Amino acid sequence: MTVAGDVTEGEQLQELLSAAGIESQLEPAVDHDPEALDDPPLKVLVAESDVDGARDAIEALTERDEAEA
């Protein structure tokens, strides 16, 4: 669906999608050494049937944030 830059962003997207009634999962976007201390990018995955709704929810958040800036 989309790639989050780090765990915090991934969790924020997951919370947004959950508030919109869309279940999601986080998955590493790249092979990552589990002992590394950095914060790897994550894929935010949703069911195929929820992709359009998830995009709409993320776009609405983006538009709201831009309007507040």
Q: State the pLDDT at residue 60.
A: 87
For the chain, give every domain's residue range: 2-68
Which pLDDT value is given to residue 56? 93
11/51 Cα distance (integer angstroms): 17
Name 12's Cβ contacts closer than 8 Å, sequence gap at least 6: 4
Threshold 0.85, pTM exceeds: no
Does an H or E element contain 43, and which?
Answer: strand 42-46
Condensed to tens digits (0 to 9), the pLDDT of residues 22-53 reads 999 999 887 766 666 577 889 999 999 999 99
Instruction: Choose between 65 and 6: higher pLDDT.
Output: 6
